Amino acid sequence: MISLTALSKQLSEPSKPFDSWQPTQCGKLPIIINEQGQWFYDGSEITRPAMVKLFASVLCKEGKQFYLKTPTEKIAIEAQDAPFVIVSWHIENTAQGQVMCCVDNLARQWLVSAEQPLYIQNYKTVAVPYLQLPYGCSARVSRSVFYQWAEIANADERGYFIKSAGGKFYLS
């Protein structure tokens, strides 16, 4: 059986050394990521999945601003909410127990764990769970996934929660 660490490493894309990159800010691009995780350039949707995945691979958030960051340039872009949306999920069995594996709108997989926890934030005046992703990014949990989790959730004095990677992650 695979370990949680090995599974996490297997699912992650090659990590960018954002911390060692110190580029100068080069202004702003007319790129907008809408609330559904769709990317637009100057009002036109970017429909090539490979292009969106390339941009997403260099996306980071510093403070409240999203950037496309490379070793030589850092360009501001706009995200109307979280840049990604969790659209499905499944359970993986590891040597440390069961872990929830979430799939985002770009078909990337993320584990719900202490390193990538759920947190609650208001979205259109409703408290909604988000998954914390690397480099300051996040993914909003879609309504259908939230309802699936609500069906399997446990409850305690703090509220409803799901279990993953040995931890409790609250849904409200």
pLDDT at 17: 72
The answer on 88 and 61 residing in a single domain is no
The answer on 99 and 163 residing in a single domain is yes
pLDDT at 35: 96
For 27, 89, 122, 127, 150, the CA distances from 147, given in Å and listed in that order, are 40, 12, 17, 14, 5
The answer on 145 and 115 residing in a single domain is yes
In this prediction, residues 78-106 reach a mean pLDDT of 95
* Domain termination residue (choose one: 27, 55, 79): 79
Name the DSSP letter for residue 134: G
- Give how many domains the chain has, as a whole number: 2
* Domain termination residue (choose one: 46, 79, 112): 79
In this prediction, residues 39-54 reach a mean pLDDT of 95
The answer on 68 and 146 residing in a single domain is no
The answer on 93 and 65 residing in a single domain is no
| 58 in a structural domain | yes
The answer on 64 and 45 residing in a single domain is yes
Q: Look at residue 81 and tell me whether its pLDDT is greater than 90.
A: yes
Which of 101, 93, 98, 82 has its CA nearest to residue 36?
Answer: 82
pLDDT at 33: 98
The answer on 141 and 154 residing in a single domain is yes
| 115 in a structural domain | yes
Name the DSSP letter for residue 116: S
| 8 in a structural domain | no
Tens digit of pLDDT for each residue in 16-30?
676 777 888 889 999
The answer on 145 and 75 residing in a single domain is no
Q: How far apart are CA 77 and CA 67, in angstroms?
A: 6
| 33 in a structural domain | yes
- Structural domain span for residue 139: 84-170
The answer on 159 and 144 residing in a single domain is yes
The answer on 108 and 57 residing in a single domain is no
Tokens linked to 65 = 């601003």
Q: What percent of the chain has pLDDT over 70?
A: 90
pLDDT at 105: 97
Q: Look at residue 148 and tell me whether its pLDDT is greater than 60.
A: yes
* Domain termination residue (choose one: 79, 112, 130): 79
Q: Look at residue 159 and tell me whether its pLDDT is greater than 90.
A: yes
Q: Look at residue 10 and tell me whether its pLDDT is greater than 60.
A: no
Q: Look at residue 77 and tell me whether its pLDDT is greater than 70.
A: yes
- CATH no. for residue 32? 3.10.540.10
Whose structure tokens read 């580029």?
23
- How long a stretch of residues is the chain? 172
The answer on 161 and 91 residing in a single domain is yes
pLDDT at 6: 65
Whose structure tokens read 């959730």?
153
